[in-house]
């Protein structure tokens, strides 16, 4: 069976129009959550490393503002989002685009390895982001007089409950979640902007930080200390890499338009915190301390809003993780997992249960292990900056081959900036940063094992072209036959899979009527049709069932009957890996644990008549 992705209408064309404010709210709720909640902890952790003098405050705020401009707007909104494949974005999509230009060889292999690493680094980020975001918001409870002495264990327990609720809401789909959370994030950005303005009004001198001169002056004066501080500065831009991976969930244009009000809100919040710190240099929890200083009455509503915002921040990384795994599965670089399409508006909005529950367990572990958000910052940033650096390099390769010279010229500076942040985050390795590498290594290992194994399997199996199969079939058909009609499931109508060749030509399993059937999953959400029966030879025909991606739960019996077939048996292929070499054992285990293609899309075939034909493949 096969999936059709070349329909006349692409997912991007079905996104809401640019002037649809609901689409912009969805983008705010799904894409900008992580970046939007960075003001909760970024300034606080930076000033744990450096004294809050006037020059330092101006330098740090200027560095943060221009990091947002360069990394988020420049590298991702301006450059990366110009590169998509049927509306999808992300590191693996960049690899897919390079395949149109780069021939197989050492360069293609290097690009593949880098893309695998970049994609799995995003998954590592997807574990740490929910943990640090939710914990940092819940810790704000301590500024409420009644909860000043609340224990760390209770705070962790509250954060775990919130995380569990978030992951249990995922099966409803990111479109539903984004529509619910969008208005909340708009309110959050409005609150950031207003509280920032109130603080700036008390110390307008902070507006000087808009000038990049102060960022450059800070770097010049502090030398190597700047290198260490960059590992915390980058926290303001975490989520930028997920912004690109989430492009398929909401569309390109709504993301760009949402950035037009997200960035001013963030800038005002960082400026406000800088102004507050000028007045209160002894302050520690800056954002919450600033709001508590402005109004104790509005502090509790603001705290509750921040908790909701951090839940939403986690959503952007969870959706990004779904997108990365789905892209890897589509490229046959990851084992098949059960995928549920959750939106009739965008095919790229999906839910993967196995990924969701694995992320939930990992997030809960990180919360319990690190206990405090300030401890988590020691592990945060390495995966993010690694993914950013790889994205910048892959974009340079794509724009070079596309001969888009002015965009290509921008890529090396972005690469150097991202690489500088990445190198600074390497200093976090001894203090917990190694967790990013541990988390990343799990999906990365699976990617490499599966990719190498599938490549070997494809070479060993070698599907038989239909033009070569038909002459051999015609010599077999006049011989002994079984009564009735048999259906054989095919992935590609132009090639006959090994299990069919083995069953019919080697083992003589030939029926009076033999029918090849393929399932074509369309880019449209709905629709169900059957193509006319095409006769290939005496006793051999083929047809296709076309089905919308939102109807994969539909029973295909009706489509078979619509084709005028009452099958006696339905066959589908199953690979059984055989090898004496230990190197193929991990792949063989993954292959055995992986559901077959029909189960992957939850396609229902006639139950009692369905039989799996095992095809043994010797990998040696």
- Using pLDDT thresholds of 50, 70 and 90, give the confidence band for residue 599: low
Is there a domain that residue 354 lies in?
A: yes
What's the token pair of residue 390?
């790889």
Closest CA to 272 of 204, 180, 352, 358: 204
Say yes or no: 442 and 557 in one domain: no
Question: Does residue 19 register a pLDDT over 60?
Answer: no
pLDDT digits (tens, 9 = 90+) for 453-480: 888 888 887 778 888 889 888 887 777 8
3-state helix, strand, coil in the chain (%, to 5): 65, 10, 20
Q: Does residue 126 register a pLDDT over 80? A: no
Neighbour count for residue 49 (Cβ, 10 Å): 12
Alpha-carbon gap, residue 187 to 29, rounded angstroms? 10
Query: pLDDT band for position 5 (50/70/90)?
Result: very low
Among residues 40, 67, 58, 54, which one has the least CA distance to residue 424? 67
Last-in-domain residue among 426, 451, 476: 451
**CATH code for the domain of 123:** 1.20.1740.10
Q: Are residues 370 and 302 in the same domain?
A: yes
- For residue 456, being part of any structural domain is answered with no
Q: How far apart are CA 197 and CA 177, in angstroms?
A: 30
The residue range of the domain holding 205 is 20-451
What residues contact residue 552 under an 8 Å CB cut-off, 6+ apart? Answer: 341, 521, 601, 602, 603
Instruction: Specify whether 294 is located in the same domain as 403.
Output: yes
The Cα 125–Cα 318 span in angstroms is 10
Domain limit, last residue, from 408, 423, 451: 451
Q: CA-to-CA distance for 417 and 74, rounded, in angstroms?
A: 11
Reading phi first (left if > 0) and then psi (alpha if -120 to 50, else beta), residue 381 is in: left
Q: Does position 3 have pLDDT exceeding 60, yes or no?
A: no
Terminal C-alpha separation, the chain? 27
Residue 15: predicted pLDDT: 42
Band of pLDDT at residue 291, cut at 50, 70 and 90: very high
Q: How far apart are CA 121 and CA 443, in angstroms?
A: 9
Asked whether residue 446 falls in the same domain as residue 467, the answer is no
Let me know whether 524 and 383 are in one domain.
Answer: no
Mean pLDDT is highest, among 13-17, 168-172, 399-403, 566-570, for 399-403
Q: Which of 124, 128, 164 is nearest to 34 (CA)?
A: 128
377 and 436 housed in the same domain? yes
Label residues 314-333 b or e (16+ Cβ within 10 Å = b).
Answer: bbbbbbbbbbbbbbbbbbeb
26's tokens = 């969805």
Q: What is the pLDDT of residues 517-552, one digit of tens each?
A: 888 877 676 777 788 888 888 889 988 888 776 666
Task: Say how many domains are in the chain.
Answer: 2
Residues 240 and 332 in one domain: yes
Contacts by residues 554-563 (CB-CB < 8 Å, ≥ 24 positions apart): 554/528, 554/604, 555/604, 556/519, 556/603, 556/604, 556/605, 557/604, 557/605, 557/606, 558/528, 559/528, 559/530, 560/487, 560/517, 560/606, 562/530, 563/515, 563/517, 563/530, 563/533
Task: Tell me, yes or no, whether 484 lies in a domain.
Answer: yes
Angle, alpha carbons 607-611-615 (nearest 5°): 150
* Contact between residue 532 and residue 552 where contact means Cβ atoms under 8 Å apart: no
- Residue 319: is its pLDDT beyond 90? no
* Residue 516 CA: distances (Å) to CA of 75, 261, 464, 480, 568: 48, 54, 14, 20, 14
| pTM of this structure | 0.78
> Is 11 inside any structural domain?
no
- Tell me: pLDDT of 553 over 70: no
Residue 575's H or E segment, with its range, is: strand 569-578
What's the average model confidence in pLDDT over 559-581? Answer: 80
Asked if pLDDT for residue 603 goes beyond 50, the answer is no
* 210 pLDDT tier (thresholds 50, 70, 90): very high
Residue 513 pLDDT exceeds 80: yes
Q: How far apart are CA 382 and CA 322, in angstroms?
A: 21
Q: Please tell me the distance from the alpha carbon of residue 194 to that of residue 264, in angstroms, as a whole number.
A: 11
Phi and psi for 544 in degrees, rounded to 5?
-125, 145
Contact 575, 615 (CB under 8 A): yes
The last residue of one of the domains, among 385, 420, 451, is: 451
Confidence at residue 177, expressed as pLDDT on a 0 to 100 scale: 58
- What are 41-87's pLDDT values in tens digits? 899 989 988 999 999 999 999 999 999 999 999 999 889 888 887 77
Strand residues in 445-527 grouped as ranges (E):
464-465, 482-489, 495-496, 511-522
Q: How far apart are CA 287 and CA 269, in angstroms?
A: 8
Alpha-carbon span 111 to 91, nearest angstrom: 10
Question: Do 469 and 443 belong to one domain?
Answer: no
Q: Which residue has the higher pLDDT, 428 or 557?
A: 428
3-state SS, residue 8? coil
Residues 155 and 43 in one domain: yes
| 488 and 436, same domain (yes or no) | no
For residues 239 and 245, give the distance between their C-alpha atoms in angstroms, rounded to a whole number.
Answer: 10
**Residues 6+ positions from 526 with CB-CB distance below 8 Å:** 344, 548, 550, 551
Please tell me the predicted confidence (pLDDT) of residue 13.
36
Q: Give the model confidence (pLDDT) of 233-268 as tens digits.
A: 999 998 787 778 777 767 788 888 888 889 999 999
d(CA 149, CA 144): 10
| Residue at 15 is within a domain | no
User: 477 and 601 in one domain?
Assistant: yes
Tokens 């015609």 sit at which residue? 474
pLDDT of residue 604: 54
pLDDT at 343: 63
Residue 284 makes CB contacts below 8 A (sequence gap 6+) with 44
Determine which helix (DSSP H) or strand (DSSP E) holds 20, and give its type and residue range: none
Q: Is 159 part of a structural domain of the chain?
A: yes
576 and 430 co-located in one domain: no
Give dist(CA 520, CA 403) in Å, integer.
35
Mean pLDDT for 94-98 is 87
Length of the chain: 620
**How far is it, in rounded angstroms, from Cα 463 to Cα 472?**
14
DSSP string across 451-472: HHHHHHHHHHH-PEEHHHHHHH
Within-domain flag for 14? no
Distance (Å, rounded) from C-alpha 459 to C-alpha 448?
17
Task: Please give the pLDDT value at position 310.
Answer: 84
Say what the pLDDT of residue 267 is.
Answer: 96
CA pair distance 552, 69, nearest whole angstrom: 42
Residue 538 near residue 475, CB atoms below 8 Å: no
In the block, tokens 């831009």 appear at 237
- Pairwise pLDDT comparison (363 vs 9), residue with the higher score: 363
Q: Does residue 333 fall inside a structural domain?
A: yes
């Amino acid at each position: 069976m096969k999936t059709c992705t070349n329909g006349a209408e692409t997912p991007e064309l079905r996104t809401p129009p640019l002037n649809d404010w609901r689409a912009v709210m969805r983008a705010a709720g799904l894409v900008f959550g992580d970046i939007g909640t960075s003001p909760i902890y970024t300034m606080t952790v930076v000033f744990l490393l450096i004294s809050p003098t006037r020059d330092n405050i101006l330098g740090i705020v200027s560095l943060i503002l221009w990091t947002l401009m360069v990394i988020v707007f420049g590298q991702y909104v301006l450059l990366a989002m110009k590169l998509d494949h049927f509306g999808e974005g992300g590191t693996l999509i960049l690899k897919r685009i390079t395949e149109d230009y780069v021939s197989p060889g050492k360069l293609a292999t290097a690009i593949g390895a880098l893309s695998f690493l970049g994609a799995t680094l995003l998954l590592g980020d997807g574990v740490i982001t929910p943990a640090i975001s939710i914990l940092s918001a819940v810790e704000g409870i301590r500024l409420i007089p009644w909860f000043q002495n609340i224990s760390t264990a209770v705070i962790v327990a509250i954060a775990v409950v919130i995380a569990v609720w978030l992951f249990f809401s995922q099966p409803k789909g990111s479109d539903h979640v984004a529509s619910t959370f969008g208005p909340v994030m708009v309110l959050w950005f409005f609150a950031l902007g207003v509280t920032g303005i109130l603080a700036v009004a008390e110390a307008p001198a902070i507006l000087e930080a808009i000038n990049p001169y102060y960022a450059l002056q800070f770097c010049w004066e502090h030398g190597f200390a700047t290198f260490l501080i960059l590992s915390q500065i980058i926290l303001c831009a975490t989520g930028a890499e997920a912004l690109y991976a989430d492009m398929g969930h909401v569309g390109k244009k709504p993301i760009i338009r949402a950035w037009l009000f997200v960035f001013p809100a963030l800038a005002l919040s960082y400026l406000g915190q800088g102004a507050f710190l000028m007045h209160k240099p002894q302050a520690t929890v800056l954002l919450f301390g600033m709001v508590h200083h402005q109004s104790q009455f509005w502090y509790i509503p603001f705290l509750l809003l921040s908790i909701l915002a951090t839940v939403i921040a986690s959503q952007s990384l969870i959706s990004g993780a779904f997108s990365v795994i789905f892209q890897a599965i589509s490229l046959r670089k990851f084992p098949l997992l059960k995928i549920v399409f959750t939106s009739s508006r965008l095919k790229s909005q999906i839910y993967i249960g196995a990924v969701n529950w694995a992320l939930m367990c990992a997030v809960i572990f990180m919360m319990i292990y690190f206990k405090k958000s300030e401890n988590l910052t020691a592990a945060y940033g390495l995966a993010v900056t690694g993914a950013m650096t790889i994205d910048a390099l892959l974009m340079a390769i794509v724009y070079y081959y596309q001969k888009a010279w002015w965009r290509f010229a921008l890529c090396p500076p972005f690469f150097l900036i991202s690489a500088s942040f990445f190198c600074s985050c390497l200093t976090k390795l001894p203090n917990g940063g190694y967790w990013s590498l541990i988390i990343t290594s799990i999906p990365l290992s699976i990617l490499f094992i599966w990719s190498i194994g599938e490549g070997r399997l494809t070479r060993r199996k070698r599907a038989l072209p239909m033009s070569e199969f038909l002459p051999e079939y015609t010599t077999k058909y006049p011989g002994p036959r079984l009564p009735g009609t048999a259906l054989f499931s095919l992935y590609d109508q132009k090639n006959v899979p090994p299990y069919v060749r083995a069953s019919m030509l080697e083992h003589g399993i030939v029926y009076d009527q033999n029918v090849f059937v393929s399932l074509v999953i369309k880019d449209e959400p709905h629709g169900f049709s059957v193509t006319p029966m095409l006769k290939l030879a005496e006793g051999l025909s083929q047809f296709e069932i076309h089905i919308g991606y939102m109807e994969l739960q539909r029973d295909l019996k009706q489509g078979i009957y619509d084709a005028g077939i009452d099958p006696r048996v339905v066959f589908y292929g199953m690979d059984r890996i055989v090898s004496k070499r230990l190197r193929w054992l991990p792949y063989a285990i993954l292959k055995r644990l992986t559901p077959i293609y029909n189960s992957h899309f939850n396609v229902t075939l006639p139950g009692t008549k369905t039989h799996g034909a095992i095809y043994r493949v010797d990998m040696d």
